[in-house]
Amino acid sequence: MGQTQLDWWRSAVIYQIYPRSFADANGDGIGDLPGITSRLGSLKSLGIDAVWLSPFMRSPQKDAGYDVSDYCDVDPLFGTLDDFDRLLATAHSLGLRVLIDLVPNHTSDQHEWFKRAVAAGPGSPEREFYHFRDGDAPPNNWQSMFGGPAWTQLPDGQWYCHLFDSSQPDLNWENPKVQEAFEDILRFWLDRGVDGFRVDQPHAMGKAKGLPDHPDVERAGAGFIEGEPSPPMWFQESVHPIFRKWRAILESYPGQRAMCGEAYVLPLSFMALWVRPDEFHQTFNFRYLDSPWTAKDIRKTIDESFDAFGAVGAPSTWVLSNHDVMRHASRMGGDFGRTTASDGVGPNDPQPDAELGLKRALAATLFTLGLPGSMYLYQGEELGLPEHTTLEPEFRQDPTFARTNGARVGRDGCRVPLPWESNVNESSGFNQTGKSWLPQPAAYANYARDLQEGVEGSTLETYKWALAKRKELNLGHGTFEWAEDLCSESVLAYRNRSLLVIHNFETNETTWKLDS
Ligand code: BGC
């Protein structure tokens, strides 16, 4: 067994599938598991190693599935457990691994645990599953990530904590029963054969004892300020033993099961604590996604990434897009920082330059695919899809939009269904009916997969070429060295094995004369 086989997650290219927008087999306008299964062949031909599926478990869909009401069943919107088994078997027969999304910080308010807690009343052991408190006013000043207070009051007077929507009550991870329940959930899916998990918001699971006020909520809002002490709802030390236990469970199964934490913890030296050898296998390197795309910033981030993750023997991951941020083909087409990126862009905002954005995004992806480590791709970026930036308010579904009265448009713009076949119907082949839970912008027809397949120089073929090169040269397990003689204020160049990558961060045309 070679090293690649041994440590697949150290070098893997993992493709994020957002199930409701990938492919829709039953034509109801919402993507589903049979739709995914039917298109796995096209992912194999893209050249990826694994897929990560955003949540498809039972859910009222108040936060597009990140509000789970049954962790061990498939939501009928997406199919059945049998459909999932077929998807998994098909993926495995194609040599693709499958990671699924686990959402442990909160459940849906329609989960049995929460319904029982509400029914059982104050002081009951059922309420110990969540964070309930008495009081005439919210128990502290915490804010929801989606806007507004992080507390909602029940008719019986008690408040419950939710760092996200009020339909997503936070679990109490101090309660051993919660811990045991999640160990069973892990086993349920591992027994079914999944290759691992992407773990949602693991840094939110621990809460400081006594749930004290956020010391600086005016400045930090719902978030944190880098370099300052941990706020009481993020990064609590108490969570690490939980992940060690999970790691041991994963390791008790054959076949290198792995977990990637969505640990939004900075600086990277702090994030690296989450990928010590007995905790997560990977975390998303959001510093990379957040960094302004300049030679200076990207160089600093890459150096910090190798230093921080290298110090604990973990690989770095690299990520440029996902279902929570503005697609990088649009983000790079204007002056859109991360704050704006995660809040989306609406019809009344300055609009990105699509052509420039795509050129820059493709260059950024090629630059990134040469790096050693593991890379996450988000569905549609291989087509060069832009963000839907002119989505009208009546279509908005992200809870952020409603909770801020439209002040933040939210993340719907990066979640629009994929165009597979140009001009077959209104949804560009997302299904047979043309229905689509979010309307595609007219431009999507021009990015459809069938227009790019086999067309030299298309975004799709460029991704395929780069992914094939990455595999051929085993770059994921490679070495990294700056090619100092070629680097400048606007150019970064590095070597990985026999590959030399040169990236010009400016828009001027440049040529290089190489010795060999
Ligand atoms: C997920 C989001 C989700 C949030 C709450 C995130 O980090 O990626 O899509 O809204 O967690 O579960």
Residues 141, 44 share a domain: no
Asked if residue 315 belongs to a domain, the reply is yes
Asked if residue 1 belongs to a domain, the reply is no
Q: Where residue 285 sits, what CATH number does that domain have?
A: 3.20.20.80
Grouping H, G, I as helix, E, B as strand and the rest as coil, residue 502 is strand
Nearest ligand 1 atom to the CA of 264 is: 7
Per-residue pLDDT of the chain (516 residues; tens, 9 = 90+): 333 447 899 999 999 999 999 999 999 999 999 999 999 999 999 999 999 999 999 999 999 999 999 999 999 999 999 999 999 999 999 999 999 999 999 999 999 999 999 999 999 999 999 999 999 999 999 999 999 999 999 999 999 999 999 999 999 999 999 999 999 999 999 999 999 999 999 999 999 999 999 999 999 888 888 888 889 999 999 999 999 999 999 999 999 999 999 998 899 999 999 999 999 999 999 999 999 999 999 999 999 999 999 999 999 999 999 999 999 999 999 987 655 556 789 999 999 999 999 999 999 999 999 999 999 999 999 999 999 999 999 999 999 999 999 989 999 999 999 999 998 999 999 999 999 999 999 999 999 999 999 999 999 999 999 999 999 999 999 999 999 999 999 999 999 999 999 999 998 888 888 876
DSSP H stretches of helix in 47-175:
81-93, 112-120
| Closest C-alpha to 237, from 204, 206, 211, 258 | 206
Report the nearest-CA residue for atom 3 of ligand 1: 66
Asked if residue 28 belongs to a domain, the reply is yes
Asked if residue 170 belongs to a domain, the reply is no
Residues 96, 84 share a domain: yes
Residues 295, 154 share a domain: no
Q: Does the predicted TM-score (pTM) go above 0.75?
A: yes
Asked if residue 3 belongs to a domain, the reply is no
Number of domains the chain contains: 3
Edge-to-edge strands, sheet with 132-133: 132-133, 159-161, 151-153
220: exposed, middle or buried (Cβ count in 10 Å: 0-12, 13-18, 19+): middle
Residues 21, 116 share a domain: no
Q: Where residue 156 sits, what CATH number does that domain have?
A: 3.90.400.10
| Closest C-alpha to 438, from 20, 13, 7, 16 | 20
Ligand 1 contacts (CB < 6 A) are 63, 66, 103, 164, 200-201, 262, 323-324
Residues 89, 133 share a domain: no
Asked if residue 167 belongs to a domain, the reply is no
The parent domain of residue 494 ranges over 479-516
Residues 432, 343 share a domain: yes
Residues 43, 157 share a domain: no
- The pLDDT value recorded for residue 478 is 96
Edge-to-edge strands, sheet with 50-53: 282-283, 258-261, 196-199, 97-102, 50-53, 13-17, 374-378, 317-319
Which amino acid, one-letter code, is at 489? E
Asked if residue 403 belongs to a domain, the reply is yes
200 is catalytic: yes
Residues 459, 344 share a domain: yes
Structural contact between residues 440 and 421, judged by C-beta atoms closer than 8 angstroms: no
Nearest ligand 1 atom to the CA of 322 is: 8
63, 126, 200, 382: the active-site residue? 200
| Spatial distance between the Cα atoms of 65 and 17, rounded to a whole number of angstroms | 13
Residues 447, 310 share a domain: yes
Structural contact between residues 140 and 134, judged by C-beta atoms closer than 8 angstroms: no
226 is catalytic: no
Residues 500, 388 share a domain: no
Residues 507, 471 share a domain: no
Report the nearest-CA residue for atom 9 of ligand 1: 324
